[in-house]
Chain A
Amino acid sequence: MTSRGTPSRFLQSVLQNGVGRYVSQLKRICIVFSRKAQSSLGVREFIEEGVVDYAKKNPATVVYVSPQSCRIPKIVAEYLNGNVREEIITSKTAPQISDLLTKLTNQSGLDVIRIRKPFHTDNPSIQGQWHPFTNRPPCIGPIRPQKQEAE
């Protein structure tokens, strides 16, 4: 599909995050994996060693670890604006999964669609945007008023 047929958005930050304090936009991480299957080998290794460090490093994010009998292990990330992202992690190694988790942590929850412009500003004009009467004071009184049988 062309970019006209697919949705698009303008560049924005969530409530000017980072101007003051930076708030991590990741609300909840749910790691769904299976205890025995071969596809979740990397996930299990990550849970053995990396998950607790990750949870300690990101105190704002709640980490759920749910072993279930499932064919494909997933990471379900929920963001503060309500968006949910599911990443499939079959046959990924533990370092790859930790990289994926850092990527999800650093994302804001905004949609991953075409960004129309790579720039945005809330204050497009500092000195005031030009209008026809900047540097041209308007005429006081009508121009060439009709002299009605005067003089």
Chain B
Amino acid sequence: MSSFSRSAQQWATFARSWFLIDAKMQPPGKIATMCSVRLQGKHKPIYHALSDCGDHVVVINTKHIAFSGNKWEQKVYSSHTGYPGGFKQVTAAQLHLKDPKHLTIVKLAVYGMLPKNLHRRTMMQRLHIFPDDELPDDIRANLTEELPQPREIPRKLSEYTQEEIDAFPRLWTPPEDYKMK
């Protein structure tokens, strides 16, 4: 690397990478923090707000996004049309019915986490969201790294083998007249 000319070294240092994040069974907030860090360029030691050092982020499988807790019913997305009486409030569940691919949910989450300045729109243009595994070939060719998922997906009971279920220690034996639900 030290044999590079000055312009080649500069180009290498400020090169834009493409990251891939799989959002299957992940909370959209955690996905959005990872995206916003990389879109701003804050993961780089050469970060400066004015130097336009953000990278591209590709999010896939957004139709399998998973809010924790009761957020599907409780989280409210508000907007105002500008006209009197135009205050609209939509729950995440209603948004899901309107847009089952959850593109708007991820987009709004990342948009809210980026700095509120004029660079935000350019950073949003570098964010690419896809509802499932399908990627266009040119984007697939650009990818440099897949980021690890923020949440560990717990296994369903059906995914455990019978040996593992049997090997699990029995915590207590119920009495004979105990009614299981």
Contact = CB atoms under 8 A, between A and B. Distances in A.
A132 B20 CA distance: 15
A125 B10 CA distance: 12
B20 A128 contact: no
A138 B13 contact: no
By size class, the interface of chain A is 10 to 19
B20 A129 contact: no
A139 B44 contact: no
Given A142-B140, A144-B20, A131 B146 contact: no
Nearest to A134: B1
A130 B146 contact: no
Contact of A130 (B46, B135, B145): B46
Contacts of A129: 1, 9, 12-13
B20 A130 contact: no
Contact of A132 (B15, B133, B143): B15
B12 A143 contact: no
Nearest to A127: B2
A128 to B, nearest CB: 5
B145 A131 contact: no
B119 to A, nearest CB: 20
Interface residues of B, number: 19
A21 interface: no
A143 B137 CA distance: 12
Contacts of A130: 13, 44-46
A131 B12 contact: yes
A144 B15 contact: no
B1 A136 contact: no
Interface in B33-54: 44-46
B108 to A, nearest CB: 26
Given A128-B1, A129-B1, A129-B9, A139 B17 contact: no
A139 B146 contact: yes
A139 B20 CA distance: 12
Interface in A93-145: 125, 128-132, 136, 138-139, 142-144
A58 to B, nearest CB: 37
Contacts of B104: none
B13 A139 contact: no
Contact of B2 (A128, A136, A144, A146): A128
B144 interface: yes
22 contacts: A125-B2, A128-B1, A128-B2, A129-B9, A129-B13, A130-B13, A130-B44, A130-B45, A132-B12, A136-B145, A139-B144, A139-B145, A139-B146, A142-B140, A142-B141, A143-B20, A143-B140, A143-B143, A143-B144, A143-B145, A144-B20, A144-B146
Given A138-B144, A139-B146, A142-B141, 4 more contacts: A125-B2, A128-B2, A131-B15, A132-B144
Q: Can you list the 5 inter-chain pairs with the closest CB atoms, starting with the nearest?
A: A131-B12, A143-B143, A132-B17, A143-B146, A128-B1
